[in-house]
Chain A
């Protein structure tokens, strides 16, 4: 079993839609959680960190449930520019980032 599991996608949604991605992790010692975005043939870039209390950045909301070892990302009012692969990432302090396989989002007009 992979350490970080994500919905495989792809998710195909119209502009303006709300879309949610889910992720589970297996290592209960994981301490830090992130969502990275990766555009086609580009490097991953940090989208947002995920905190236990949940956090929001504009149209993006991230949630963490430590008891269920579950992370989510909600995107409201989808834009064409949101089309990308979204990577769920976890790590313990001092260790390397562990990536999920990624979920592909395609937003169409």
Chain B
């Protein structure tokens, strides 16, 4: 497909379980973003990659959260020892360029809905 693809669409995890969420950005998009969206809230920034470099991870809520993009394309967001407060929709977005002069449109995937029970 031509859009940003995320998998799985839905994930139910038992508290304490580790989860891995995958994002396939639009082909050729340099920049990739992860956001967390709780019910009734706007998306909250987690982390940002430009190619394989993680330029900003200031939004990751704890050291249980880890993201990688080893080849500058697919990205994985990993959450260790999940807690109930981690329940949210995790959105991935990609953009063709993102830099000092011009930020082009960011396209979002449909998200992964994580429920921790």
Contacts and interface: CB of A to CB of B under 8 A. Distances in A.
A96 B100 contact: no
Interface residues of A, number: 19
Contacts of B102: 93
18 contacts: A32-B103, A43-B109, A43-B110, A87-B42, A87-B43, A91-B103, A93-B100, A93-B102, A94-B98, A94-B100, A94-B103, A96-B33, A96-B45, A97-B33, A98-B45, A101-B42, A102-B41, A102-B42
A67 to B, nearest CB: 23
Main secondary structure of the interface of A (DSSP, over half): loop
A61 to B, nearest CB: 20
Contact of A43 (B101, B103, B108): B108
User: Top 8 A-B pairs ranked by shortest CB distance?
Assistant: A99-B42, A43-B108, A96-B45, A101-B42, A99-B43, A96-B48, A102-B42, A93-B100
Interface in A67-109: 87, 91, 93-102
Given A43-B91, A91-B103, A93-B99, 10 more contacts: A32-B103, A43-B110, A44-B108, A46-B106, A87-B43, A93-B101, A94-B100, A96-B59, A97-B45, A101-B41
